[in-house]
Amino acid sequence: MADRRRRGPWEVDFMRRSHVAATAACFAALCAATALSGSAWAAEGVATGDTSGKKIAFSNSYAGNSFRQVMIKSFEAMGETAKADGKIAGTTVVSANNSVTEQASQIQNLILQGYDAIIVLAGSDTALNGAIKDACDAGITVVAFASGVTEPCAYVVDYNLDSYAKAELDFVAKSLGDKPANILEIRGMAGDGFDKRLHEGVEKAMAAHPNYKKVGEVYGQWTATVAQKEVSGLLPSLPQVDAVLTQGGDGYGAAQAFKAAGRPLPIIIMGNRQDELALWKEEHAASGYETFSLGATPSVSQVAFWVAQQILAGKPVPKFVEVPLLQINQPDLDAWLKTVPDGGVVNADYPQALVAKIIDANAMKVPLPGVPAPK
């Protein structure tokens, strides 16, 4: 029940002063909170907290193709540079040969070995959640990249795979229009998080083109030899194929399968590999063949590395950090091809300052800085 008695002057004055004080305190707290949230990106740029004694590990699910091999080398190279500059104490890389059981065991070993941060390229988006949670509970920073792990304690560095798929279908539509067309989809590896999310992106993008029909689907494991074998096995049962959607590393193998079958080359979306770009250039010179190439860069491992280091250095970082895709169009083909060694993948370094800009762009929800183009 409300207190309705008459109050003395001293009581009224006391309540007035208390109300003023409380209001002032609330205002001060609000200002402090506002300043703190603003300071989240008041720490804009590179965080300089001391991480010279910190160790960062890379748990990789699979190293059986050129992309993953360059990814590991990119991580190791940036780690050596950071160590030489006194920014970390050291790094290590372990690969699990596509066994999630082995990868979970390796993560547990890294926890016991006292690593301060573990970067994870997971073989499954769910099967490693227990090991990742154990790492977080041990006070270890976990940064998952390009694999879509679902354990919420992990930071995630990844591409927008809906945009990836949409860019592929947009190019096909630009080339073929909206007339009926048959589409072959080459996926990555069964059960892999990156493959599952890119495939979901393809399904969404296909829905925007009702005249396009998917006539086949194979797993190419992001490897030319596997893609060639799988496509070759499926082609005899397929009608005319107008376009092939890919995930990277599979475009060259797909082209060889069509050639071996004596079938004309459809539009094959390439994945920034040297053999794909060289074949594209050769076919363009011979017949005017045009396509489009895009993909992740192997050095996305460097983005994950610096995100982990910046978290350890005290920089506020969003739980999801989007990385820009690298796209190659016909006018840029020669310039990019010159940068890639035989058997390699188009790559671009991500130094600490650029990654800090990527983090800040994600935090402030502004356009991402582009992947540096060759000069």
pLDDT-derived band at 372 (thresholds 50, 70, 90) equals low
Mean pLDDT computed over every residue of the chain: 89
pLDDT at 3 over 70: no
Q: Single out the residue of 285, 246, 249 nearest to residue 267, CA to CA.
A: 246
pLDDT-derived band at 373 (thresholds 50, 70, 90) equals low
Mean pLDDT of 322-342: 92
Task: Tell me the per-residue pLDDT of 289-329, one tens digit each, with 9 for 90 and over.
Answer: 999 999 988 899 999 999 999 999 999 999 999 998 899 99
Helix ranges (H only) for 300-351 are: 300-312, 333-337
The pair of structure tokens assigned to 328 is 């190659």
Higher pLDDT, 218 or 25: 218
> Which pTM was predicted?
0.72
pLDDT at 151: 97
Q: Single out the residue of 130, 77, 41, 78 nearest to residue 142, CA to CA.
A: 130
Mean pLDDT of 21-34: 39
Q: Is 55-159+297-332+346-364 CATH 3.30.70.20?
A: no
What's the 3-state SS for 5-32? CCCCHHHHHHHHHHHHHHHHHHHHHHHH
Q: Is 175 helix (H, G, I), strand (E, B) or coil?
A: helix
| 214 phi/psi in degrees, rounded to 5 | -80, 120
pLDDT at 29: 40
pLDDT at 224 over 70: yes
Query: Which residues of the chain are in CATH 3.40.50.2300 domains?
Result: 55-159+297-332+346-364, 161-294
Amino acid identity, position 333: L
Cα→Cα distances 122→21, 132, 294, Å:
54, 10, 22
pLDDT at 40: 39
Higher pLDDT, 133 or 375: 133
Mean pLDDT of 177-189: 95
Instruction: Please tell me which of 185-199, 278-292, 331-345 the model is most confident about, judged by mean pLDDT.
Output: 278-292
- In this structure, the dihedral spanned by the alpha carbons of residues 108, 112, 113 and 114, taken in order and rounded to 10 degrees, is 110
pLDDT at 82: 98
pLDDT at 20: 39
Contacting residues for 208 by C-beta, under 8 A, at least 6 apart: 166, 169
Number of residues written out for the chain: 375
pLDDT at 148: 75
**Could you give the angle at the alpha carbon of 277 between the alpha carbons of 271 and 279, nearest 5°?**
120
pLDDT at 4: 38
CA 251 distance to own-chain centroid: 20
pLDDT at 34 over 80: no
pLDDT at 13: 44
Higher pLDDT, 19 or 208: 208
pLDDT at 69 over 50: yes
Tell me the CATH number for domain 161-294: 3.40.50.2300
pLDDT at 55 over 80: yes
Instruction: Quote the percentage of the chain above a pLDDT of 90.
Output: 75
pLDDT at 44: 87
Q: Which of 60-69, 124-133, 279-288 has the lowest mean pLDDT?
A: 60-69
CB 176 within 8 A of CB 145: no
